[in-house]
Amino acid sequence: MESAPTRVVVRPSYAKWAAWLCCIGLIAGGVLIVLYVDRHRTLPDEVPLQLAGSWDRACRIIYGQSLWCPLPGGHREPFRRALRLDSFLFIPGYTLALLAVFGLGSCFLYRKVSRRFMLRGLAVTGVTAAADVCENILLYRALDGLGTGADGDWQKASWCALLKWALVGPVTVAALWIALTLAARILLFPRAAVKTAGTAPSGTPPLPRTPLVQKAHELANRGEPWDDPDIVTPPAAPHATTPVSEWPDPAVTAEPPDSAKERWRTRALQLPGRKPAEVGICVSGGGIRSASVTLGGLQALREGGVLAKARYLVSVSGGGYTSGAFQLALTDEQPAYLADARLATVRDVFAPGSPEEDHIRRHAKYLADSPREKLLAAGIILRGLCVSLGLLALAFVVVGVYLSAFYHRVPLTDLDRLRTDPAASFPSLSDQLHDELVTPLVALVALAAVVSVVASLVRGREGKSRPAWVRSTVKFILAVAAAIAVFAVILPTVLWFFAWLANREDVFPEGPKGISIFGALTAAATGLGGLFTATKDRVTKVRPDGGKAGRFSGASSIVTQTGAGWAQTLVVWLVLTLVAFFGLALLSWAAVYAGDWSGWWRWGLAALLLFSALAVDQTTFSLHPFYRQRLAGAFAVRRAVLRDGSVGALPYDYNAEQTKLSTHGRRVEGDRGTFPQTIFVASAALSLRNRTAPGRPAVPFTFSHDYVGGPDTGWVRTTTMEDTAPPLVGRDLTVQSAVAVSGAAFASAMGTQSMAAQRLLALSNLRLGTWVPNPLYLAEVALRGPDWVMPRLPRVRRLRYQLQELIGRYSDSSPMLLCTDGGHFDNLGLVELLRLRCRTVYVIDSSGDSPPLATTLAQAVTLAYEDLGVQITFDQKEVLKLVPGSAEKLEPTEPMAALNTRFSANCLVKGVIKYPEDVEFEEGKPGSRCGTIIFAKASLTPDMPYELLSYALKEKAFPRQSTMDQWFDHTQFDAYRELGYHLGAAAVWPAPVKRRRLFDRADRPPAAPPRSV
């Protein structure tokens, strides 16, 4: 079978010659600038004259006084020579240099949107040079007529200077960044393409081969066997940055067959080896609560024979803790010191009384149990906070240093007066605003309005909308006005305000001491605010109808715990405001006082920021590595014979053995039994509407031994991603990391959760989740091959990625994707299991959603239809038996009133699944569209074991204790494990039975086959 055609970036035929021309222009521009600097040494600085704006100020600049101006002598001639040098050397020099850099960028930057910005950079360069030329002409005329006392030419020259300097700063920074980017790509050539291996003779290393890239929609519509692709690309999704006319395929003249269900069919694509199945299981998220329930549920499902028949085990968050633990306890991969000892089997792994179950019970407080572990956790949190705020503070200082150099060169504000007399500096600025800033700003806005209105009238007569170039022109004019306002009004005002505030010792201690104290307070507030936001539990009483109950509602209410409330919202906004205030204060302090620093300090801080931004892995300093290691210590164990001859649970060596997905995550088959293929469900953050629905900035993303990815990002063969990813990134392509990523509940991207809270978590580094290679980007690398133009896959998650988390912008085409908790998309994992096409679906829901209805199930049912076209229906009377309070009251009613309000008539409901197309669940047999869903919800029922009822009476929020509670004691663990076993038993055996003891063959009823429609 042929692979998808290679994507070639078509470049103009003159690109090669244009590149040589740009290089010549860059050299020529550099030579002219050097000549200008050399010849300008003995001449006066003409920049203050450019911004004089009036005859009086020009006289003071040239002669030092305004009376009897002009005086006899040659005072004006040096300024004329400076203007001539500027016109004939400096303007052509920097214009050629900027045009050359932006020209090279427009030819050789990889992204089309980047090349389009380079064309805009060319236009801005032209406007800057034109403004500079006009300014010099006006200054020449003004110098010739200096004795007339007229202000006209001086004022117009200052307007041109304002326009020039407002554009020079951003354009120069952009040009330097582009030049460094292109130089780095050339120096780092050749690029490493996607690495994959083919078959090779026995005993020899695998042979590298070209990656096979195929399209999801073509594979989904083919309906016949196909090759095993290394990468499967998702369907195209039009971007707003690309013209609509460029998206349709001109080669397609006929409508594809049955295109009405194209989206559903593509999103349900069956990857190689993932065939429809008779039985599938999914376990929900919910932290250690869900892990405990899942353990009991899988024990019961194994006893009933369901686990052996299941082909897939889909897990989310806390359910993945247990699923990953089962997988790692059964893996065939063994280190040398264990020889071939594989004691655990599918039949008895994590059985009651087993070393594995006992290990988890003893480590249920997995985040931190002992004082030493708590101090370690506190130290890691403090380290992450210092790194995050330290880099942010360094960035503000470097920006302040840049503003100091800029305003000392371009005197739009007097920084020296701000240090000595800030109270007197602002009125002078106000006078200047009226004369020199209001008029050009109003003129630019009026010009944009005139262009827009005239274009609308002209095109309106023709029945057409305004062309794209008119819209771009209007946006450009408004952007110029905004740049002038920022550099000439907003930033000087900010600097004046904080300089004035710093001189009020009753408000703000003066100098570095005050900044240091303020910074320490800000860091402390950020850390405490982040901890409060991430861990605060809020106990809520809910009426039977779901409304909020009063404080004294008594036994008629249901207690539940949540992690959100008005207090958290208030804390989040207060801390974010404080951080913004501190950042602006630090920037202003650096801008005002950096002129007194040595050059070593100024350049050293800039170099330190550049090094930190490019060389420091931001994920390493987040909570993800700590969370991954703590989960591994609690759940990653093997059964082994210890040195004294006893059998125990041996933890994995976290630093020595990487539990690669491709090896340690393989489906368990053989003489030790069959265990389902484990699929860990996470979510990838995307902020573009072309991929996500409104209010849901996340898409599904899964980790398994065969493929990694999702329908919106594409899939990559796991071995291919492991071989391609740099070592530091490869640490997150393990079973242990997949468990941690799937359970990254609080992160800087949390789906529909509060955006402000996400920004605070990113700011304080109290964030989980990690950045992994983007399958769609790897497809581009594979198709293009080694090429210096193609950006490489980053070796570290640089500062850029944390800044993306701070601003909440996530592209579907960037090299890396931020992956977090699967519950941010679907907390049950039901949608992913339905994507795999199972006839009988078992769902264990311990998500802990608020009563009365199972809102997590309702959301998953809605999402299943939206995403896959799968319809799930329940009998209305049966599903309402899940509602707390629907069970018959237990006697005696008065002592049992608190429990009777919480009792559900049933914890299980059976429904019907209807797929949009026939599915061949069993090879060789006719397909069917119908299946069965057996949904078990963690709720209280009267037939529960006595000890569970006793625990529920003691713990009012059971079984809905907050997910933020990750410190379970042995009592909590046993209660939720027993609850999970009760749910699994109800799902397996048709009629309610009394509590069963596993492996008690005398009392164990015969296994019943899975229910079906």
Confidence of residue 386 (pLDDT cuts 50, 70, 90): confident
Q: What is d(CA 989, CA 238) in angstroms, rounded to the nearest whole number?
A: 50
More confident residue, 601 or 566: 601
Read off the pLDDT of residues 419-432 as tens digits, 9 standing for 90 and up: 776 665 554 444 45
pLDDT of residue 294: 92
**Cβ burial 522-541 (10 Å sphere, 16+ → b, else e):** bbebbbebbeebbebbeebb
Distance (Å, whole) CA 347 – CA 325: 15
Q: How far apart are alpha carbons 444 and 424 in whole angstroms?
A: 30
* Residues pairing with 649 in the sheet: 639
What are residue 773's DSSP bridge partners? 816
Report whether the peptide linkage leading into residue 892 is cis, meaning its omega lies within 30 degrees of zero.
Answer: yes
Per-residue pLDDT at 1005: 43
Distance CA 662, CA 645 (A): 32
Tokens describing residue 663: 């090896």
Burial class (CB in 10 A: 0-12, 13-18, 19+), 131: buried
Confidence of residue 493 (pLDDT cuts 50, 70, 90): confident
3-state secondary structure of 856: helix
Q: Which residue has the higher pLDDT, 916 or 337?
A: 916
The yes-or-no verdict on residue 63 having pLDDT over 50 is yes
Q: What is the pLDDT of residue 671?
A: 78
Burial grade of 986 (CB within 10 A; 0-12, 13-18, 19 or more): buried
Q: What is the mean pLDDT of residues 402-418?
A: 82
623 has pLDDT over 80 = yes
Strand partners, 910: 934
Q: Residue 765 and residue 621: Cα distance in Å, rounded?
A: 7
Please, is 894 exposed, middle or buried when counting C-beta atoms within 10 Å of its C-beta (0-12, 13-18, 19+)? Answer: exposed
> Which residue(s) pair with 539 in the sheet?
561
Reply yes or no: is the peptide bond before residue 70 cis, omega within 30 of 0: yes
Q: Euclidean distance between the first and final Cα of the chain, in Å?
A: 39
Q: What does the pLDDT read at residue 996?
A: 47
- Write out pLDDT tens, residues 939-962: 888 888 888 888 888 888 788 777
pLDDT band at residue 435 under the 50/70/90 scheme? low
pLDDT for residue 297 = 92
| Distance from C-alpha of 155 to C-alpha of 434, rounded to nearest angstrom | 12
Measured CA angle at 938 (ends 933, 940), to 5 deg: 120
| DSSP 8-state class, residue 945 | -
Q: Which amino acid makes up residue 616?
A: V
At 599, the pLDDT band (50, 70, 90 cuts) reads: confident
Both tokens of 870, joined, read: 């799968």
Model confidence over 267-286: pLDDT tens digits?
888 888 888 999 999 999 88
Q: Report pLDDT digits (tens) over 464-485.
A: 666 777 788 888 888 888 888 8
Higher pLDDT, 339 or 394: 394
pLDDT for 934 equals 93
Residue 998 has pLDDT above 80, yes or no: no
Reduced 3-state DSSP string for 180-218: HHHHHHHHCCCCCCCCCEECCCCCCCCEECCCCEEEHHH
DSSP letter string over 495-548? HHHHHHHHT-TTTS--HHHHHHHHHHHHHHHHHHHHHHHHH--EEEEE-TTSSB
pLDDT at 68 over 70: no
What's the pLDDT at 15? Answer: 67
Going through 545-589 in order, the beta strands assigned E by DSSP cover 558-562
Average pLDDT, the chain: 80
- Residue 151 pLDDT: 75
Q: Which residues, in sequence order, are bridge partners of residue 710?
A: 714
503 close to 477: Cβ distance less than 8 angstroms: no
pLDDT at 1007: 45
**What is the percent of the chain with per-residue pLDDT over 70, rounded to a whole number?**
83
Q: Which two tokens stand for residue 171?
A: 């354009």
Residue-level length of the chain = 1013
Q: Does position 208 have pLDDT exceeding 80, yes or no?
A: no
* The two structure tokens encoding residue 57: 């100020």
- Listed ranges 218-227, 333-342, 951-960; the one with the highest mean pLDDT: 951-960
| pLDDT beyond 50 at 394 | yes
Q: Which of 418, 565, 564 is nearest to 492 (CA)?
A: 418
Mean pLDDT of 20-46: 86
pLDDT digits (tens, 9 = 90+) for 713-757: 999 999 999 988 888 898 999 999 999 999 877 766 665 555 777
pTM for the whole thing?
A: 0.87
> From residue 562, how far is each of 15, 535, 556, 953, 993 by CA, in Å?
59, 10, 19, 19, 33
Tokens standing for residue 984: 């699994």
How do residues 109-139 score in pLDDT, each as one tens digit? 887 778 888 888 888 899 999 999 998 898 8
Is 758's pLDDT higher than 80? no
Closest CA to 812 of 317, 299, 235: 235
pLDDT of residue 661: 93
Q: Which two tokens stand for residue 429?
A: 């600025």
Q: Worst-scoring range by mean pLDDT, 369-373, 480-484, 615-619, 822-826? A: 369-373
Alpha-carbon separation of residue 397 from 120, 251, 589 (angstroms): 29, 54, 8
Query: pLDDT tens digits for 898-933?
Result: 777 888 888 899 999 999 988 888 877 888 889 999
Q: Are 906 and 939 in contact (CB under 8 A)?
A: no
Q: For residue 523, what pLDDT is reported?
A: 75
Confidence at residue 534, expressed as pLDDT on a 0 to 100 scale: 65
- Measured between alpha carbons, how far is residue 946 from residues 243, 311, 610, 908 in Å? 67, 35, 63, 19
Which pair of tokens denotes residue 617?
């892995």
Cα(782)–Cα(793) distance, rounded to whole angstroms?
12
pLDDT bucket at 679, cuts 50 / 70 / 90: very high
